[in-house]
Amino acid sequence: MRVVILGSGRGSNAEAILAAQQAGLLGGARVAGIFSDVADAPILKLGPQFDVPSAYVDPAPYRTKLEGEGEARFIAAVSGAVPDLVVLAGFMRVLKAGFLSAFAGRIINLHPSLLPSFPGLDAIGQAWRRGVRVTGCTVHYVTPDVDGGPIVEQAVVRVEAGESLDSLESRVHAAEHALLPAVIARLSSARPQG
């Protein structure tokens, strides 16, 4: 199973996927490419580290969504890597109909809450401020409904009494780093061979 990772930032979840691949824990999945909408994003440095092609793709003209010319460039770049699965790992743009239809049923996203609770930005902060006792992270299929696609898997993180936001963020990220590679491995093993 060929996997393409899209990310906008430091790439800690991409690094967890690549480290799992290096350790032989991704099953039949292999990362075929990493693409970012941010020219100097640290995620792009993971490519040379793990011997995986990585590239910046110009997302213009929009700042928060992938549409128009930027969308066409992303579709071309991702299609060139022939993906069976597209993984959004900290990709900070809303995907629109063109990209979603080009890779229909093959895009998953990692979100730092137990969806459907706390969709959107700053999910960990939302949960912490609300005072929930349990939060976590979710891997779900991507649909036009932001953070609303079918749930693949979730990991629970209990919120400790008096816990700081920094501590909770750190523990949710640790759960993400375990969950996402495990989901990719499971999707790979469930995939028909041949």
Provide the annotated active-site residues. 111
Angstrom distance (rounded) from CA 115 to CA 149: 10
State the residue for tokens 């080009």. Answer: 102
Cβ contacts of 191 within 8 Å, gap of 6 or more: 1, 28, 84
The strand pairing partners of 42, in sequence order, are none
User: Maximum Cα–Cα distance for the chain, whole Å?
Assistant: 52
Cα distance between residue 37 and residue 42, in whole Å: 11
Integer CA distances (angstroms), 176 to 17, 57, 58, 192, in order: 10, 25, 27, 26
Q: How far apart are alpha carbons 105 and 92 in whole angstroms?
A: 20
Among residues 28, 26, 79, 21, which one has the least CA distance to residue 194?
Answer: 28
